[in-house]
Amino acid sequence: METSTITKSAASERAVPFSGSESLKRKAKELFEMPLLSLVQQAAAVHQEHWPEADVQRCSLLSIKTGNCPEDCSYCPQSARYATEIENHPLLDVDEIERRAKMAKAEGSSRFCMGAAWRKPPRGKQFDDVLEAVRRVKAQGLECCATLGLLNAEQARSLKAAGLDVYNHNVDSSPEFYSKVITTRKFEDRVATLENVRAAGLEVCCGGILGMGEEVEDRESLIAFLASMNPHPESVPLNLLVKVDGTPLAEKEDLDPFELVRAVAVTRLMIPQTRIRLSAGRMNLSREAQALCFVAGANSIFSGEKLLTTPLPGDSFDDRLIAEMTGKTGKSHGGAEPN
Ligand code: SF4
């Protein structure tokens, strides 16, 4: 099994397990404990220093293969283990992916992301099709991102050679909390893939999900881990749990939106140069809460009607929100840096 071989060798060479340094955890804790107003003011100042253009990048994400995933991620309606109402479909035809990329560009996205519900990409025609899809997306002049599950070093290099810019692979939560939401792979499996992605010369998009029942300490530890990555991820998606009927986390209590604002601000202060993306869960946030996230340092969103299988506010909502936040049209102004 190629994945576990990579994992074992990567894990055995690592002196410190995947928990970020103690000093970074302490720093995250201090920041999380600040009064919200002071925290947001500090984060806004750092944000302005590093992102003077004050833009909001918008990205589109297409599920190119939906559902029937063998993994057991407790939050995910695409796991074959849970009875959910999503419509599964096999890998989309490359022509259809190209058509959707053209539509996303016409609607203002500067980046096109493709997601497939796999534990890891299968060898053979399906992976070859993904490589061809990457080439066609790039031919549109779009930045191209993919999230396909665990990658070995050879797959990462093949994606890079096809033109892929960025690979998304979230660590989901803290190293300490990870096994409470996923048992079919380990935190270190995720880290091994991130190492393969970086070694192939791809940019890294890596973040997590808040509101899965974790403690504040887990949010501190998650951000400390992200801040311990060297180099830092070029982008950090912060998701709020979307509770989907049939999944084990369907009944979790809603997280206070201020906790997301805090997480955005702490991420901005600890990783000043990353794009922070509001991702899943925006449907449950008011416009005002989203605006506060932008003040605290978020500067990217997934836009459109859907994020893989869960709903997004939609293009007209995003057009208006971005226009009000940035004074620009909300169309076609992705940032200087992808993701
Ligand atoms: S999050 Fe990804 S790996 Fe986990 S069940 Fe869903 S599709 Fe599979």
How far does the centroid of ligand 1 lie from the alpha carbon of residue 42, in Å?
35
For residue 78, the ligand 1 atom closest to its alpha carbon is 6
Q: Tens digits of per-residue pLDDT, 45-98?
A: 999 999 999 888 888 889 999 999 999 999 999 999 999 998 999 999 999 999
**In this structure, is residue 239 part of a structural domain?**
yes
* 91 and 126 Cβ atoms separated by less than 8 Å: yes
Q: Which of 64, 73, 173 for mutating ligand 1's site (highest number of atoms within 8 Å of CB)?
A: 73
Instruction: Please say if the pLDDT value at position 19 is more than 60.
Output: no
Q: Label residue 4 by pLDDT band (50, 70, 90).
A: very low
Q: Label residue 318 by pLDDT band (50, 70, 90).
A: confident
Q: Give the relative orientation of helices 187-199 and 2-13 as an angle to the nearest 10 degrees.
A: 90
pLDDT for the residue numbered 1: 30
The range of the structural domain enclosing residue 295 comes to 2-326
Q: Label residue 306 by pLDDT band (50, 70, 90).
A: low
**In this structure, is residue 337 part of a structural domain?**
no
How far does the centroid of ligand 1 lie from the alpha carbon of residue 47, in Å?
32
pLDDT for the residue numbered 321: 83
Q: How many Å apart are CA 330 and CA 265, to the nearest integer?
A: 23
**In this structure, is residue 333 part of a structural domain?**
no
Q: Is the CB of 249 under 6 A from ligand 1?
A: no
Q: Is the CB of 209 under 6 A from ligand 1?
A: no
Q: Label residue 325 by pLDDT band (50, 70, 90).
A: confident
Q: How many Å apart are CA 139 and CA 292, to the nearest integer?
A: 36
Instruction: Please say if the pLDDT value at position 20 is more than 70.
Output: no
Instruction: Read off the pLDDT of each residue in 206-230 and give the average, rounded to a whole number.
Output: 96
Residues labelled catalytic: 69, 73, 76, 113, 145, 205, 277
Q: Which two tokens stand for residue 213?
A: 């029942």
Instruction: Please say if the pLDDT value at position 297 is more than 90.
Output: yes
Instruction: Read off the pLDDT of each residue in 206-216 and give the average, rounded to a whole number.
Output: 97
Instruction: Read off the pLDDT of each residue in 273-282 and give the average, rounded to a whole number.
Output: 91
How far does the centroid of ligand 1 lie from the alpha carbon of residue 218, in Å?
21
CATH number at residue 90: 3.20.20.70
Q: Is the CB of 73 under 6 A from ligand 1?
A: yes
Q: Is the CB of 172 under 6 A from ligand 1?
A: no
**In this structure, is residue 332 part of a structural domain?**
no
Instruction: Please say if the pLDDT value at position 243 is more than 90.
Output: yes
- Specify the 3-state DSSP secondary structure of 338: coil
Q: How many Å apart are CA 311 and CA 306, to the nearest integer?
A: 4
**In this structure, is residue 112 part of a structural domain?**
yes
Instruction: Read off the pLDDT of each residue in 297-307 and give the average, rounded to a whole number.
Output: 80
Q: Label residue 111 by pLDDT band (50, 70, 90).
A: confident
Residue whose C-alpha is closest to residue 263's, from 26, 29, 46? 29
For residue 308, the ligand 1 atom closest to its alpha carbon is 7
Residue type, 173: S
**In this structure, is residue 334 part of a structural domain?**
no
Residue type, 212: M
Instruction: Please say if the pLDDT value at position 108 is more than 90.
Output: no
Instruction: Read off the pLDDT of each residue in 318-336 and give the average, rounded to a whole number.
Output: 64
The distance from CA 207 to its chain's CA centroid, rounded to whole angstroms, is 5
E strand or H helix at 2, and its extent? Answer: helix 2-13
**In this structure, is residue 263 part of a structural domain?**
yes
Q: What is the pTM of this model?
A: 0.88
First to last CA, the chain: 31
How many structural domains compose the chain?
1
**In this structure, is residue 339 part of a structural domain?**
no
pLDDT for the residue numbered 338: 27
Instruction: Please say if the pLDDT value at position 10 is more than 70.
Output: no
pLDDT for the residue numbered 83: 93
